[in-house]
Structure 1
Amino acid sequence: MPRLRICFILNPNSGTNRRLDVPTLLAQHLDLGVVDYEIYRTEYAGHAEELARRAAAAGFRIVVAVGGDGTVNEVGRGLLGTGAALGIVPRGSGNGLARHLRVPLNLGAAIRRFNAPSFQHIDVGSINGHPFFCTAGLGFDAHVSKCFAAAGTRGLTTYVRVALREYRHFRPTSIEVRFGEKLLKTNCYVLAFANAAQYGNNAYIAPLADIRDGLLDLVLIDALPLWRAVRVGLGLAIGDLPRSGAADFHTARQVQVQAATPLGFHIDGDYVGESSIFDVNLAPLALEVAT
């Protein structure tokens, strides 16, 4: 019986546990009687997507992102339309998709699953042509992602500190949102498009989201006065935001957004840029994952 070919794409700069020796862990926890593996290392932003595409073309059955949500996004993008499945060894500060898929955060446990993996397909979102697998969003969360990337340190503590600092200055923008037969004319403090349930770090922006149901969960917060900010923060932490009344929820497969002024947007926690027009779509079951 041929051995399962797996490529591990390692981002040496991901997360807060960079001192862990991933190659040694792979050697310790993979069963070489059933697995044949190689390690590719990223060298620059966007490199993981190139390496994933190369690995799929080389015939690897599973291509594993060893890193955080940004690395997972890059590897997943490279595997779209190929015959290879995405795997995750979570090594980031948020690990949103890994948590949703119940991948163990312990690296050894996550690696051992590839000795006898299971496979499933998940939905894939896109915003202005940029694929995302967990969440995308406009407004405050994107602004915080931009500031977080420039903060110099990673982790939940840094993210919270940046969010609290920027909260004092951020203001909502007028938008029009079209989906199905609906047209919403409102303000956007946050408009999140959730394929999976959480941003990462168990912050549940859309706890009812199903990554295989063919729909995005839209989460709209039109303003964030202090009382609502407290309720949103609590809702994210305990997973009851839909019941809190602090946000409006909708579901859709296709969404168009027109903003009065340019808004920043992110994919899977990584800031992309600004636009006034957003075209958001969902491709059902477009990516195979191995867990």
Structure 2
Amino acid sequence: MNPLRVADPDRHRADVTAELARHGWDEPLWYETTAEDPGAGVTAKALAEGVDVVFASGGDGTVRGCAEGLMGTGVPLAILPAGTGNLLARNLGMPTALPEAVRVGVAGRTRAIDLGVLDGRPFVVMAGIGLDAAMADSTSEDAKNRIGWLAYVSGVVKHITDRPFRVTLRLDGRTTIRRRAVMVLVGNVGRLQGGLELLPEARPDDGLLDILILAPRTPTDWLHVAWHVLTRSRRHDRRAERYTASRALITVDPPVLHECDGDPIGHATTMSVETRPKALLLRTPRGTES
């Protein structure tokens, strides 16, 4: 559990324990994440105890940390959404109410999904350079707690006039693309806050990463990009280009802020990403897409 994402941690713990007992499960082991250990370390402790499933109670950062600890272990992850984004859960149609989320964790189907890896760091949702990273960096935790995903709107407005950067993408070691862009987004899934479908063809278990390059040059271009996103258009032009690849090397000039699952991770000139097919077992509602 990420205690910063739960309004009343003691009550939350009691409710989760009661729901598990209702399904005939033992009282769970309980670990809290910290700034130093957002999930991988405490997940390793849980695995050492021989657990059957790990519940991640928090936002996408907590899910990412637990997924890192579970990658390739064969122990499934279940999600109890408690953050502002919860993008992996929303993309996969998972319930947000606690009783239903616990039920999925103990009785749902186990689905193998891919993980993305950014410079050795796993991610479950998206990683990016430019506008999305700047948006995440300038959105305060207080604002997210008060108004939820709408807090990100001010971050977009603040950085929408940032200067574009030169970017070179090398996809699967074969295709080279050079652009002046404001954002490069690499996704394991495609839907952002507010239901915005930036990568409408992204699937979490197809063995591929979906890549979006935004390169608007004028206010009219921005209107085109907005229409492109709102209508979930699959058209391909210089202002909004989409590609797929199993790995990509992205080089930028000058150094640009990077993000991983919504967490800014500093300025850099390169980003190496790849997919790890079927690396994570995830409990999902029965009847969801295989």
Q: What TM-score results when the alignment is normalised by the length of structure 2? A: 0.88
SS in 1 for 2:17: helix
Q: Does 1:196 align with 2:189?
A: yes
Deviation track 1:23-52 (CA, whole Å, cap 9, x = no partner) reads 232134224553222221223342422101
Q: What corresponds to 2:249 in structure 1? A: 256
* Equivalence for 1:74: 65
Residue deviations 1:208-262 (CA, integer Å, cap 9, x gap): 1011111111111123533343443454455x04248551011100111121211
Mark the CA change 1:280 to 1:114 in structure 2 (over 3 Å): closer, same or farther: closer
Aligned residue pairs: how many?
277
Q: Does structure 1 residue 171 correspond to structure 2 residue 163?
A: yes
**Which has more strand, going by share of residues?**
1
User: SS in structure 2 opposite 1:35?
Assistant: coil
8 Å contact from structure 1 (residues 253, 281) kept in 2: yes
Q: Which residue of 1 aligns with 2:123?
A: 132
Q: How does 1:1-291 map to 2 (within 5 A)?
A: 10-14=1-5, 18-19=7-8, 21-32=11-22, 34-36=24-26, 37-148=28-139, 150=140, 152-154=142-144, 155-168=148-161, 170-180=162-172, 181-223=174-216, 225-237=218-230, 240-243=232-235, 246-291=239-284
Task: Give the structure-1-normalised TM-score.
Answer: 0.88
User: Secondary structure at the residue paired with 2:199?
Assistant: coil
Percent identity between the two aligned chains: 28
Distance 1:65 1:234, change over 3 A: farther
> Secondary structure at the residue paired with 1:214?
coil
Q: Which amino acid aligns with 1:66?
A: S
Structure 1 residues 108, 242: CA separation in 2 closer, same or farther (over 3 Å shift)?
same
Cα distance change on mapping 1:88 and 1:151 into 2, 3 Å: closer
Q: After TM superposition, which residue ranges in structure 1, 4 or more long, deviate above 6 angstroms?
A: none
Note if contact 1:96-1:134 (Cα within 8 Å) is conserved in structure 2.
yes
Tell me: CA distance 1:269–1:61, structure 2 relative to 1, closer, same or farther (3 Å): same
Within 2, Cα distance between the matches of 1:56 and 1:31? Answer: 21
The answer to whether the 8 A contact 1:31-1:115 is kept is no
Q: Judge conservation of contact 1:187–1:222 (CA < 8 Å) in 2.
A: yes
Between the aligned partners of 1:224 and 1:70, the Cα distance in structure 2 is 33
Output the aligned Cα RMSD.
2.1
* Distance change (3 Å), C-alpha of 1:284 and 1:192: same
What are the Cα deviations for residues 126-171 of structure 1, in whole angstroms up to 9, with x where unaligned? 11111111111111101111112x4632122211112112223x11
Q: Which residue identity does 2:126 align to in structure 1?
A: T
Structure 1 unmatched runs, 5+: 1-9
- Output the CA distance in 2 between the equivalents of 1:114 and 1:157: 29
